[in-house]
Amino acid sequence: MGIRILHEEAEAFRRAAEGVAVFEPRHRTRGNAFTGKHLDVPGGRAIDLSGLDYLALGSDQQVKSVMAESLERHDCGIPGSEAIIQTDQSHRLEQALARFHLGRGTAITFGSGYSTNFSLMEALGLRMNSHFIRMYRDVFPTAPVKSAPTLFFMDGDLHFSARHGIRFASRLRDGACAAYTYRTGDADHLSALLRRSMDSHGDHAVRIILTDTLESATGRVFDMAELCRLAEEWDCLLYADEAHAVGVVGPQGRGVTAGVADFDRYRDRLVIMGTLTKAFCQPGGYAAVGDPELASLLKFCSPQHVFSAPVPPWIAAATVRLIEMVAGDFGEARRERLRAVARHARLRLAETGFDLVGDPSADTPILAIPLRDPRLGGRVLEFLRQEGFVVSVFQGPLMPAGREVLRLAMRADLGTEEVEDLVRALVRCRKALPFTETG
C-alpha cells in the first residue's frame, strides 16, 4: 500500500504542476553537443539568454585551453572529503578566491552555490552548538561555549538557499538562532529591527546581516555601502551573496561590495559568497572569509563540507588561472563589452516602449521586463523560442504574485544586430501576446 500511495501522490502532483513552469523544463536542447550561446532546440537554433555565462568565457579558446591543459596534467578522479585530505589545488583555489575578494584570509568551497549558502547558514546559526559537534561531543575537545544566539537579519528577497539553511538550523536546536526579515532594500526597516534586537538581547548575540548584492531575477543592485555602514554601527557580520556579480561588476570584477568606498574599513566583518558557475564557467560555490580561524570553524560546523567530495583538483587548478584572467585586462575587456551590450539593449527596449524593472542606469547584464499578465508566461517563452531566443520567465513560485518578470541575461558575445533582432522579436511578441498589460 505504501508504494501505491507514493505513485498516487506522484500522479496527483503531475496533474497539479502541469501549468507551473519550474517543475518541468520549458526548453530541451537537441543533439550531441552543448554549444553555449547557440542552442539546438525543437523548432531550430536559438540564442540562449537564460544562461549564466555573462562574460561568454565558455566558448573562449583561451579558457578551453586552460581547461584542457589542466585535465591533461591532473587525474580526473575526485579525492575524498577534505576532512581526510586536501589537495594542493584545492588549497590554492581557496587562497586565490580570498585574495580576489578580500586581499587576505581563505575561502571555503562547496559543490554548488546552493550548498554554500545552506551549509554556512547552518554553521553560522549553530556555531559550536552545531549538530555535528554535538553528535561527537565525547571525542571533540571543545572550549566553553557561550550561549549567545545568532540573530539573522535577512533581506526580504534573500536567495531561497540561505533562507532554507536558516530554517533548518533553527529546527536543529531551539533558541540557537532567530531570523528577522527586513523589507527589500529598506535600511530604515533594518535599523529598526537591529535596534529592537538590542532591546531583547543586548550585546549578548552574534548579529548577521544577509543580502544579495545583485538580484538574479531583476538585475537590481543593492546599496552595499549603506549595509556596510549599518554592519559597523551595530557590530554585525555582513554576509554578501555576490553570486551574479562575481566577475561581472565592481573593480576587477570582484563584485558590488568591492566598489564600496573605504572597503578596507569593513573588510574584517565581511563574508563574501560567490559561485564558480557564472563568470568562471565551472561547478562550485564558495565563501571568502578574512579570518582563517573563523573559516576553520565554519568548515567543521558545515556537515556538507565534512562529508561531501570537494571541487575536483583539475577544475580547482584551472579556476585559479581563470581568476587571474577575469581580474586582469582579459576580463576587463569582456566586462566592457558586456556593459556595452546591456546598455544598447536597455536603450532600444526603452525606445520601443518597454518598462524595465530596477535602475535603468545600472551596469548589470540582467534585464527584466514586467510580466503583467502571468497567464501568458508559457506562451511568451514559446513565441520567443520560435523567434530564435531562449529566455526566462520568473513567476510563481519563484517570484511572488505581482512581481513576475521576463528575464533577459545579456552575454558579452552578443552582436549589435542580434540585440536588434531580440528587440524586434519582443515587439512582435508584445503585439501578439500583450504580456506587458494587466490581464
Q: HSE (CB half, 13 Å, CA atoms) of 100?
A: 32
Q: 172 with 276, same domain? A: yes
Is residue 318, in this structure, part of any structural domain at all? yes
Beta bridge partners of 152: 179, 208
* One domain for residues 316 and 334: no
Q: Is 40 helix (H, G, I), strand (E, B) or coil?
A: strand
- Rounded to 5 degrees, what angle do the CA atoms 388, 393, 395 make? 165
- pLDDT 10s digits, 48-88: 999 899 999 999 999 999 999 999 999 999 998 888 889 99
Which structural domain, as residue segments, surrounds residue 243? 74-327
CA 255 to CA 102: how far, in whole Å?
11
The set of cell numbers assigned to 75 is 587525474
Strand ranges across the sheet with 405-409: 366-370, 405-409, 392-394
The CATH number for 263's domain is: 3.40.640.10
In a domain, 139, yes or no: yes
Same-domain status, 255 and 342? no
Query: 153 with 252, same domain?
Result: yes
Domain boundary among 291, 311, 327: 327
In a domain, 128, yes or no: yes
Count: domains in the chain:
2
The residue out of 327, 359, 381 marking a domain boundary is 327
3 within some domain: no
Give the domain CATH number at 400: 3.90.1150.10
C-alpha distance across the termini of the chain, in Å: 45
**165 and 214 share a domain?**
yes
Let me know whether 208 and 126 are in one domain. yes
Q: Which three cell numbers, joined as nine digits, stand for 204?
A: 549578548
pLDDT band at 20; cut points 50, 70, 90: low
Which pLDDT band holds residue 146 (cuts at 50, 70, 90)? low
Helices (H), 328-415: 329-351, 377-386
pLDDT for the residue numbered 140:
63
What are 109-138's pLDDT values in tens digits? 999 999 999 999 999 999 987 766 766 666
User: Looking at the structure, do residues 84 and 46 belong to the same domain, yes or no?
Assistant: no
In a domain, 93, yes or no: yes
Q: State the Cα–Cα distance between residues 158 and 163, nearest whole angstrom.
A: 7
pLDDT in tens, 310-356: 999 999 999 999 999 999 999 999 999 999 999 999 999 999 999 99
Residue 181, CB half-sphere, CA atoms under 13 Å: how many?
11
Query: Does residue 21 have a pLDDT over 70?
Result: no
Give the end of a domain, one of 312, 327, 342: 327
Structure confidence by residue, pLDDT tens digits, 186-238? 999 999 999 999 999 998 999 999 999 999 999 999 999 999 999 999 999 99
Q: Could you check whether the bond before residue 397 is cis, i.e. omega within 30 degrees of 0?
A: yes
| Shared-domain flag, residues 316 and 415 | no
